[in-house]
Structure 1
Amino acid sequence: MNKTKTLVPITPGLSRRTFLHSLGALVLTACGGGGGSAGEAAVSRSAVSAKATVNAASLVLPSAATGEASVTTSGAFVHPGLLHTQADFDRMAQKVAAQTQPWYEGFQAMAGNSHTRLSWSPRPVTVVYRGGSYPQNYPQLYGDIAAAYACALYWKVTGNTAYADKAVQIMNAWSSTLQSISGDTNADLAAGIYGYEFAIVGEIMRSYSGLTAANLSAFQSMMANIFYPINIDFLNRHNNTDITHYWANWDLCNTASIMAIGVLTDDRAMFNEAVDYFVSGLGNGAIAQAVYYLHPGYLGQWQESGRDQGHNTLGIALGGAICEMAWNQGVDLYGYDNNRFLAGAEYVAKANLKQSDGTFLTVPYESYANVDVTQPGFSTASQGTLRPIWALVYNHYVNRKGLAAPWSEAFALSMQPEGGSGTYDNSSGGYDQFGYGTLTFTRDPVTPAAAPSGVTAWPAAGQVVLSWWGVANGTSYNVKRSATSGGPYTTIASGITDPLTYTDSPASGTWYYVVSATTASGEGANSSEVAAVTAVQLHTYLTFDEASSTTAADATGNGHTGTLNGGASRTAGKAGNAVLLDGSSGYVSLPNDIVEDVSDFTIAAWVFRNSASTKQWERVFDFGSGTGRYMMLTPDSNGGAVRFSITLNGSHNERQVNGTAPLPSGQWTHVAVTLSGTTLTLYVNGSQVGQTTGAAFTPWRLGPTAQNWIGRSQFSGDPYFNGAIDEFRIYRGALPAAQVAALAQG
């Protein structure tokens, strides 16, 4: 892989907000249980609980500079507890002993692999090189790791200690020899991919009596002192490049390595670093960036979809390993953000499956750009890549959780029995993951989920786009609507199969939706209710009319109170008082996640720019979680005009609408921006000055935002606003041009 540059544990519908704002979220508890939660008002994400199975300690979620939240877990680790627990090994052994299919067939594939042999001779080196002008000896490392894993697995399934001794021999050979990992930047890949794999081997073997305490300690030391420093340095610095430069897999493999080494060495802080990065990291391996764009029906476009499918499928391999390792330690990253990882897996699986006529299935695509490239379309390079990764995804979501994952399931079943390392040519990732998923991950199915889950209903240009997660035994789905919360509901669509989405066109108002599944036994229960507002509705209104005080009341009664910070004070405004910002430290902060439940919108304000300071890149407002995810309005961009922009992965991929000139100074000016569907429109003094179509980013896609500011930028080098702002309004829905003009009449 070379560089070209609410509180609901274990819930299928776990939103980022639930995770970040609920003590104990994402932690599996021994008792499990809990009921479903009602949908949020106006625009909602439902959550449905499920039974928990693994003990874990509580999570503490303090605030962090990323705008998300740091994750802190505590308590003893489960051992063995990376890709496989002892319960998993017991299941494998029982199924293989009984020659039960498909486990036995999977075992035969593993036993017949060239790495599963007692004659294997380790080939350790003092320095592993990957990349650069050095001798490329890293295949010696990944080959030995593949052999050690296969032998460890064979021992756990059969009890044959000769294979355990072989795995220990390989571990000891490397821990007594390896001194460093080097090369060019590809050394970061070596430390990540082979780091997480080798740590898994050590975790399996730690209970074997033939591995002495001294030898285990030496192996742990190698992982912590040689692999981990490279892993964490990469995540912290990215070799001093732009944060969007490295593809998701670079982050993911290093995150997986940190997580695996943390468990192996009983280092809770290390484990937490990995969980935290997956949830809220700045790079492309954090799940919000890795699953770059959610299409209707929860097809989650993976970050490398416009690059090639070999790397795209590797992302599922690495993300799946991270989710399974975390799950086995009681943290549900699988379910985080309404099963966002599943959305990515389903997209990648569907995109790489062939139809009966030999052609590939098609998937939607949203243009992607980073510091190096712009990728306007889905890449068919290496399409159809086979990686032994799908059994893990299918068995977690379908057989462990009872959800529907039709494309991951189809891929998994088509590859049974999944082979392992070396089964597929290296261009298809023969050594980037272990494989053998038919043996290791297949499990008897649970009772299917009782009802669809994770339902969302997002208004867009007068329509409502619904998506949901299906149930394992569902054959089709029904959408129902009511004008009253709780029903009665009228069925407005039925027989929906793929994708699981429906676009409604109701009258203006507030509408309530549920979804049910049809199974072989008939219609099932309704999902949790979600609501959508198709009428324009005032969401936040700051008049700044207080005589003093550091708070600015929200006149809507919605509690979106502003807080004056730094050099912010009051002055005479366009109507009553206004907030005066000094251009140095003054700004107004708004509550966290201020627009997380907003789709179409209008944001409007009166703006007075002081003539003494009319710098470029000041902000009227900037809502986000840092320089990667934000929506902002600047009175003067580097193009010399007022600009609104919104992005999901930094300034290189903004969706923009630009005016024709900067906002004037020395006078009150009304400015407004609206989004209707995918059309952004910019107004100055009630007149349209710019419009952009095809802008597919909406505020809710930003996810959790803790840096929601009037007068301040996400970028620390940008100037603070110098002047006054009054009558700051946020609406759900796009105001018509005539109503924007009416606001501008003052």
Structure 2
Amino acid sequence: MRRIPLLAAVGALLLGAFTAPAAHSAPSTFVHPGVTVSKAQLDFARTEVLAGAQPWKAAYDQMMASEYADLNRTPTPWATVECGSYSNPNHGCTDEREDAIAAYTDALAWYVTKDARYAQKAIQIMDAWSATITGHTNSNAPLQTGWAGSSWPKAAEIIRYTYTGTWANEARFATMLRNVYLPTVIKGSNSNGNWELSMMEAAVGISVFLEDKASYDTAMAKFRTRAAAYVYLASDGSVPKTVPSQNLDTTAKIVSYWQGQSTFVTGLTQETCRDFTHTGYGISAISHVAETSRIQGTDLYGTDVGERLRQALGFQSKYQLGTAVPGWLCGGTLNLGLGPVTEVGYNALHNRLGIAMTNTQTLTLNNRPAGSNNLFVAWETLTHGDNPN
């Protein structure tokens, strides 16, 4: 493991500066359902659940026992969702995120059971919000929009392309995504990196549902830039890559932005020294965008995105599993709590590509079945655990 001390000259800094990723074109024809989970993946999960195979049956049972799968759930839409820092004030923030997760949960439940009540419940929730919401306000509005905007298209894709019943207000839901969510998330953010990564996840997913190629390309380019600036690789140079709009043009500014960490090693993220929970948000969003891109025909796992994801998962997993924290890393103290965020990346990189990921594998298996973080991650042992598709 290469360690780079904080003695970087200006020339070295420039070597580590942002390099524009190659342009990524939207597919000529979008694949549906195609946001994070594909029809082939859904078919595999359904087959395994119905056969009673593990870990999928346990993951399904966990999902169905959750509040999100309750057919008696009443959606709670708000016209304006107001979210301050750490959702304080919380005027609709939890309601919106959890209703969006519930819609996705019901869509998954529909696909596995073919019980139309679950599809209709997902539609009821999506209709309630599309008839009501007009915007988001306060300091956490961009992140909130990204979190909820990541779950809505996952639910909508499954319902629109697998349910043969009526969704009379589908066009209104699409209008909600285009007018309420997309204009905010597509702008990105110069806050901590998990914000922009989550926002780009939402923008990519919404673009797939809307079949908006221009927005897809814009979101994917911003995603590539932010992913490169979020996870450090030794090949980046003496300091991490940066996002040009943030003007992190000195080593001191970069160190400050990286939570005061001045020794950079492969797999470290911009928020590792903040806490693993927010780091998990960023890692999860990277894996979700990479998975959506693969389904849409461009496999990013073989690019630097995949390498950054692999290294970030391995580095964080090692310490989440209890490895002693060295003094040079975050002052010798880490705030753990990575969350249920390893399944998608682990399946893609280890199971599909055959890459050894010992620490990530141990953590993933220990955490099965992976549940929900109640924000924008849900049921990924069911959808992606050892899924060959």
TM-score (norm 2): 0.81
Q: CA deviation at 1:292?
A: 2.5
Q: 2:376 aligns with which of 426, 430, 433?
A: 433
Q: CA deviation at 1:293?
A: 3.9
Determine the C-alpha separation between the residues in 1 that align with 2:160 and 2:356.
36
Mapping of 1:228-627 within 5 angstroms?
Answer: 228-233=182-187, 235=188, 238=189, 243=190, 246-279=191-224, 281=225, 286-294=226-234, 299-337=266-304, 339-354=307-322, 360-362=323-325, 377=331, 379-381=333-335, 383=336, 385-420=337-372, 430-443=373-386
Deviation, 1:378, is 5.9
Aligned to 2:52: 99
Tell me: CA distance 1:187–1:444, structure 2 relative to 1, closer, same or farther (3 Å): closer
Q: CA deviation at 1:444?
A: 5.5
Q: Could you tell me which residue of structure 1 aligns to residue 101 of structure 2?
A: 146
Query: Residue 135 of structure 1: CA displacement?
Result: 5.3
> 8 Å contact 2:325–2:334 — kept in the other structure?
no
Match of 1:158 among 90, 110, 113: 113
Corresponding position: 1:215 with 2:169: yes
CA displacement, residues 242-292 of structure 1 (integer Å, 9 cap, x when unaligned): x5xx2110110111111001001001111111221122x3xxxx1221102
Q: Give me the whole-angstrom Cα distance separating, in 2, the residues matched to 1:320 and 1:172.
A: 29
TM-score calculated relative to the size of structure 1:
0.44
CA contact (8 A) 1:308 1:379 kept: no
**Structure 1, unpaired ranges of 5+:** 1-64, 355-359, 367-375, 421-429, 447-746
Instruction: Provide the secondary structure at the position in 2 that maps to 1:129.
Output: strand
Instruction: Say which of 169, 173, 183 aligns to 2:124.
Output: 169
Contact 1:353 1:361 in 2 (8 A): no
Q: What secondary structure, in the 3-state scheme, does the structure 1 residue paired with 2:268 have?
A: strand
**Is residue 169 of structure 2 the alignment partner of residue 202 of structure 1?**
no
Identify the structure with bigger relative contact order (alpha carbons < 8 Å, sequence gap 6+).
Answer: 2
Q: Deviations over 1:145-204 (max 9, x none)?
A: 1211111111111111111110000001111111111122x1011111111111211111
Runs of 4+ in 1 over 3 A off after TM superposition: 65-69, 132-135, 293-296, 360-366, 376-379
Report the residue type matching 2:232 in the other structure.
Answer: Y
Opposite residue 353 of structure 2, the aligned amino acid is K
| Aligned mates of 1:308, 1:444 — CA distance in 2 | 30
Which of 155, 173, 180 is the aligned partner of 2:135? Answer: 180
Contact 1:394/1:409 (8 A) holds in 2: yes
Q: Which residue of 2 aligns with 1:28?
A: none
> Which residue matches 1:125?
78
Distance 1:294 1:440 in 2: 33
SS of match in other structure, 2:128: helix
Q: Distance in 2 between matches of 1:70 and 1:377?
A: 39
- How far did 1:445 drift? 6.3
How far apart, in 2, do the equivalents of 1:71 and 1:260 lie?
15
Higher strand share: 1
SS of residue paired to 2:34: coil
Amino acid at match of 2:72: S
Closer/same/farther in 2, CA of residues 313 and 305 from structure 1, 3 Å limit: same
Alignment partner, residue 15 of structure 1 = none
Write the deviation string for residues 412-446 of structure 1: whole angstroms up to 9, x where unpaired.
100111122xxxxxxxxx22333312211023669
1:361 Cα deviation from its structure 2 partner: 4.4
Q: Secondary structure at the match of 1:301?
A: coil
Cα deviation code 1:524-550 (max 9, x no counterpart): xxxxxxxxxxxxxxxxxxxxxxxxxxx
For residues 171 and 363 of structure 1, do their structure 2 counterparts lie closer, same or farther at Cα, with a shift above 3 Å needed?
farther
Answer whether contact 2:27 2:297 (CA < 8 A) is retained: no
Post-superposition offset of 1:111: 1.1
Alignment partners' CA distance in 2, 1:295 and 1:409: 25
Question: Does 2:189 match 1:189?
Answer: no
Aligned-pair identity (%): 31
Report if the CA contact (8 A) 2:45-2:387 is conserved: no
Residues 378 and 210 of structure 1: is their aligned pair in 2 closer, same or farther, counting only changes over 3 Å? farther
Greater C-alpha Rg: 1
Give the helix-richer structure, 1 or 2: 2
